[in-house]
Amino acid sequence: MSQENMSQNTEVNEAATPTTGAFTLTKQDNGVAILSMDVPGESMNTLKAEFGDEISAMLDDIEQDNSIKGVVVISGKRNSFVAGADISMLAACKTAEDATAIAAGGQAVFDRIENMKATFVAAIHGPALGGGLELALACHYRVCTDAPSTQVGLPEVQLGLLPGSGGTQRLPRLIGIQQAMKMMLTGSPARAKQAKKYGIVDEVVPESVLRKVAEQFALKRKPEREAPQKGLMNKVLETTGPGRNMMFKKAREATFAKTKGNYPSPGYIIDVIETGINDGMKAGLKAEAEAFGKLVMTPESFQLRQIFFATTEMKKENGVEGVTPAKMKKVGVLGGGLMGGGIAFVTSTKAGVPVRIKDVRAEGIANAMKYSYDILNKKVKKRFIRNSEMQKQLALLTGTLDYSGYKDIDIVVEAVFEDLDLKQKMVADIEENCKETTIFASNTSSIPITQIAEKAARPENVIGLHYFSPVDKMPLAEVIAHDKTSDDVISSTVEFAKKQGKTPVVVKDGAGFYVNRILAPYMNEAANLILDGEPIEHIDKSLVKFGFPVGPVKLLDEVGIDVGTKIIPFLVEAFGERFTAPSAFDKVLSDGRKGKKNKKGFYDYEGKKPGKEVDESIYELLGLSPSSKLSEKEVAERCVLMMLNEAARCLDEGVIRNARDGDIGAIFGIGFPPFLGGPFRYMDTLGIKHVVARLNHYSTAVGDKFAPADVLVKMAESDKSFY
């Protein structure tokens, strides 16, 4: 809340209870007390176990003061209500019982709020997530602002947990079981309008009147809410025994189909909701606290929490320590293709800065503009944003067929064809048409940045900024510095990528950089398995069961077989025979198979299930009669070991700065299973000796390409780990 909003109703006399902690209780003579939360020294409020005594003392005070008719729970922070519980406290839990006690403590405080004599109102501006929403759900009314930053949700599943302070019990009772279950199983937040539509909040108001409206609600009697189920089918499913049995059964089937049993928390969420609905709130809360305790101790939750800490850490870091980034106020994008359109979209919508798109064809510019329009228009139709907001964001995009409007541009992101001569020409053009400090960032996926900067007059301004497709969805960006890139340019590019909503990983220049370099041997091994006669579906299913979002062969079809194989010659030239791709790729490409984009690849894109089934003619083309000889585990192990081995080499060569960056790069760039923590954490879990033993086994059984990296052999000998 802003200072002026906090001091509304100036005619009301206020008396604040002095405090040195996170909470302040201000009593007013209109019968409403303001309970404000402001955790000292932190940009956002988080709930901590040690706040229990402080909040209990304030609730005692409220309970004993008969003049208090209502309480408004509000944040003293400008931009957030409560961003959730402080999950770092879970690291101190030695047993499931320790974690259960934390959940039970939170439940007790929120139960007390719900049962207070005074009417409690949550006044929400900014994020109210996890424990923040659970606090709001314990209040009798909820009012939120219409600000874009306001969102409510229970994202605990993304940390391998479940809501542990009553969320699994209160949300289904408030908005219906199916909608609540969907929010908890996906972890997706709801914006203000959605929250009102679902019934999570009672009113959506401008920020300027949030406190005033919340005070009006605080003077009301507690609500008697109607049953949340709308429509006959929902009533049958949610309020009858047979209906509920079928609903929970279907939810479990759908969840298992998606998670392949790799994530325990979704199953626990369904169990705990079902317990509460069938056996009552008290039984539900007990089951919730116990399930929370068990989940905290699972290896999956441990790894997912490490990812959270790693990304939080990375947000605070500059590209180069101690080097302050320059602000990018105007951006140029070269090329109006899919990548160019995506880069322009995240720059205008997330970073909120003007983008000038340059293409040689007017259609290219139109396509890039349409990319943004299509995404934003969908949001307008779903009422996530207003039409006026869409127009405001589209107004940040302009196009040009020459370099007009490029004089004052701070950074140019190049997204033209993968052709070295063309990219070098782009560098020369930008140096001629832009200011001396303009950064040239290439979105190349395969050409070393050193080569792109080879003929540059100002090589210190040239850097790689490699996005992943589709740009609006994939969270990673690789920032690639060559040996002449200045520290200022590195820091400024990293900060620019963060402003676009990306998690940037700084990597050293070289063929394939990091992500594509570790992906190539994994994909090559999948191709080798096809040539060994393993059925394509068997290979893909094995890796999906292992935890990847899609199998390697399907991924190649999605990316484009021509694009996916383009990097191989660069890797062979740089690193030798171990990157040589199977000749099968040449046969597939010469047959005109590019994958999904031209509806001809390893999968069949005709008929009723396009892209779902393998195109059987591929076996005839390759002269194969497929027959499964290896188990799912062996297929997955062979492909994944190739990736792990290469990741270890990348760290040893300084391609990535540390194991943490390598894990985040693999998870966010190619979907390495998050519950395994990334390649380096996974190797630590397996044990380096085990990894080396398995590589040696395949080196003997299959070929030298499996020979373990020297760094792994040394680590195994000295019993070391990456973390």
What would the pLDDT profile of 477-519 be if each residue is shown by its tens digit?
A: 999 999 999 999 999 999 999 999 999 999 999 999 999 999 9
Q: Please check whether residues 387 and 266 belong to one and the same domain.
A: no
Query: Given this model, what pLDDT does residue 17 score?
Result: 52
SS3 content of the chain, % helix, strand, coil (to 5): 55, 15, 35
DSSP track, 414-436: E---S-HHHHHHHHHHHHHHS-T
Domain assignment of residue 660, yes or no: no
The candidate with the shortest Cα–Cα distance to 90, out of 37, 142, 49, is 49
What would the pLDDT profile of 97-130 be if each residue is shown by its tens digit?
A: 999 999 999 999 999 999 999 999 999 999 999 9
Query: How many angstroms separate the CA atoms of 649 and 478, rounded?
Result: 18
Number of CB atoms found within 10 A of residue 232's CB? 8
pLDDT at 19 over 80: no
Q: Please check whether residues 505 and 523 belong to one and the same domain.
A: no
Query: Given this model, what pLDDT does residue 453 score?
Result: 97
Q: Please check whether residues 435 and 549 belong to one and the same domain.
A: no
The candidate with the shortest Cα–Cα distance to 529, out of 644, 647, 638, is 638
Q: Please check whether residues 261 and 366 belong to one and the same domain.
A: no
The mean pLDDT value for 20-38 works out to 92
CATH code where residue 164 lies: 3.90.226.10
Query: Given this model, what pLDDT does residue 413 score?
Result: 98
Q: How far apart are the first and last CA of the chain?
A: 41
Q: Please check whether residues 196 and 216 belong to one and the same domain.
A: yes
What would the pLDDT profile of 370-397 be if each residue is shown by its tens digit?
A: 999 999 999 999 877 889 999 999 999 9
Domain assignment of residue 106, yes or no: yes
Domain assignment of residue 172, yes or no: yes
Query: Given this model, what pLDDT does residue 13 score?
Result: 56
Domain assignment of residue 321, yes or no: no
pLDDT band at 244 (very low <50, low <70, confident <90, very high): very high
Query: Given this model, what pLDDT does residue 9 score?
Result: 39
Query: Given this model, what pLDDT does residue 6 score?
Result: 36
Task: Using the 3D structure, point to which of 511, 544, 574 is the last residue of a domain.
Answer: 511
Phi, psi dihedral angles at 185 (to 5 degrees): -75, -30
Q: How far is CA 185 from the centre of its chain?
A: 15
Q: How much is the mean pLDDT over the chain?
A: 93
User: Secondary structure of 486-522 in the HEC alphabet?
Assistant: CHHHHHHHHHHHHHCCCEEEEEECCCCCCHHHHHHHH
pLDDT band at 426 (very low <50, low <70, confident <90, very high): very high
Query: How many angstroms separate the CA atoms of 470 and 474, rounded?
Result: 6
Query: Given this model, what pLDDT does residue 216 score?
Result: 97
Q: Please check whether residues 167 and 232 belong to one and the same domain.
A: yes
Phi, psi dihedral angles at 499 (to 5 degrees): -65, -30
pLDDT at 270 over 70: yes
Q: Please check whether residues 594 and 638 belong to one and the same domain.
A: yes
Q: Please check whether residues 498 and 538 belong to one and the same domain.
A: no
Range of the domain at 635: 516-654+687-717
Pick the range with the lowest mean pLDDT from 11-20, 135-144, 252-261.
Answer: 11-20
Given a contact cutoff of 8 angstroms between Cβ atoms, the answer to whether 81 and 122 are in contact is yes
The mean pLDDT value for 147-160 works out to 96
Q: How far is CA 428 from the centre of its chain?
A: 37
What would the pLDDT profile of 633-662 be if each residue is shown by its tens digit?
A: 999 999 999 999 999 999 999 999 999 999
The candidate with the shortest Cα–Cα distance to 224, out of 140, 290, 166, is 140
CATH code where residue 347 lies: 3.40.50.720
Task: Using the 3D structure, point to which of 486, 511, 536 is the last residue of a domain.
Answer: 511
Sign, CA dihedral 644-646-652-656, equals: negative
Q: Please check whether residues 497 and 598 belong to one and the same domain.
A: no
pLDDT band at 20 (very low <50, low <70, confident <90, very high): low
Query: Given this model, what pLDDT does residue 33 score?
Result: 97
The candidate with the shortest Cα–Cα distance to 274, out of 295, 301, 298, 251, is 251
pLDDT band at 21 (very low <50, low <70, confident <90, very high): confident
Where are the alpha helices (H) located in 10-138, listed in sequence order? 51-64, 96-114, 131-138
Domain assignment of residue 199, yes or no: yes
What would the pLDDT profile of 663-718 be if each residue is shown by its tens digit?
A: 999 999 999 999 999 999 999 999 999 999 999 999 999 999 999 999 999 999 99
Domain assignment of residue 345, yes or no: yes
Pick the range with the lowest mean pLDDT from 365-379, 541-555, 560-574.
Answer: 560-574
What would the pLDDT profile of 55-73 be if each residue is shown by its tens digit?
A: 999 999 999 999 999 999 9
The candidate with the shortest Cα–Cα distance to 201, out of 149, 113, 139, 281, is 139
CATH code where residue 526 lies: 1.10.1040.50
pLDDT at 4 over 50: no
Catalytic residues: 478
* 3-state SS class at 46: coil
Query: How many angstroms separate the CA atoms of 672 and 421, rounded?
Result: 34
Pick the range with the lowest mean pLDDT from 208-217, 586-595, 643-652, 677-686.
Answer: 586-595
The mean pLDDT value for 221-248 works out to 90
Q: CA angle 232-235-239, nearest 5°?
A: 155
What would the pLDDT profile of 173-191 be if each residue is shown by its tens digit?
A: 999 999 999 999 999 999 9
pLDDT at 271 over 50: yes
153 forms beta bridges with: 129
Query: Given this model, what pLDDT does residue 328 score?
Result: 97
pLDDT at 83 over 60: yes
Query: Given this model, what pLDDT does residue 231 score?
Result: 85
Domain assignment of residue 678, yes or no: no
Q: Please check whether residues 491 and 585 belong to one and the same domain.
A: no
